[in-house]
Amino acid sequence: MSRAALIALIDGPLATDTPGLTARNDLCRIRPRAAESPAALHASHIAAAIRVNAPEAQILGFSIFPGRLSTQLTTVAEALLRAAESEAEIVHCSFGHAGASPMLAEAVTAVLEAGKLLVASAPARGTPVYPAGCTGVLSVQGDARCAPGQWSLLNLPGARFGACPGGAGVPVRGASLAAAHFTGLLARACAKGGIEKMLQTPAFTGRERIGAGGPNAA
């Protein structure tokens, strides 16, 4: 019998009526009218994208963005440590810090040593971001070849995996949404006890290449 996976979503404040939300932990002071803030809207779209591929997934929210999509590194580390201690099987981060940090690396290690999967978004261009750049993290960038139910094995310096970077009527796009789609696929496989099998069957392998005829597999 399959079971619903529990995902620790580290993002903005989720509304209490968010589908699948089991609890919300605010690690920052939530500002007035937070429900209308960019952080709350971002979190809601990420949660919805996760459940596109895993409709039964349960979400444990950790709020680190009070209104704008910016926060302190100490807050991110605390959220990761709390997620490590939770019952969640997957920890999701659709954001990235520009610089590596021993504090962040220690928090990531705590998540991985707790036996959890840690998914983080990674930009397709530019320098690495963290936690996606930390060893052991499942780093994901957008791959236009992928539909919402597909993923690719990229094995690029900045991202190991790719996934669908958008959705109809969804303002959030790119690596953030791709990572959420990938987390949903993991959650679905986790519920069925088949993550290892899932990771052996990418829809595409190699870098996305844009040619005259559109995206092509390498």
Match 């791959």 to its residue by tokens: 143
Examine the pLDDT at 216 and tell me if it is beyond 50: no
User: What does the pLDDT look like over 108-165, one tens digit per residue?
Assistant: 999 999 999 999 999 988 888 999 999 999 999 999 999 999 999 999 999 999 999 9
Averaged pLDDT score across all residues of the chain: 90
pLDDT at 125: 85
Coil vs helix vs strand at 166: coil
Percent of residues, the chain, with pLDDT higher than 90? 73
Least confident stretch, 78-87, 128-137, 209-218: 209-218
User: What does the pLDDT look like over 41-80, one tens digit per residue?
Assistant: 999 999 999 999 999 999 999 999 988 888 999 999 999 9
Least confident stretch, 29-43, 74-88, 169-183: 29-43
pLDDT at 34: 67
Q: What is the pTM of this model?
A: 0.91
DSSP summary character for residue 130: B
pLDDT at 135: 95
Backbone phi, psi, residue 215, to 5°: -65, 140
8 Cβ neighbours under 8 A, 6+ residues apart: 60, 62, 82, 83, 86, 88, 90, 91, 92, 116
Examine the pLDDT at 189 and tell me if it is beyond 60: yes
| Average of per-residue pLDDT across 10-27 | 95
67 vs 69: CA distance, rounded Å: 7
pLDDT at 124: 87
| Average of per-residue pLDDT across 67-96 | 95
Higher pLDDT, 133 or 170: 133
> In CATH, which of 3.40.50.300, 3.40.50.200, 2.60.120.260, 3.50.50.60 is domain 6-216?
3.40.50.200
> Domain-by-domain residue ranges, the chain?
6-216
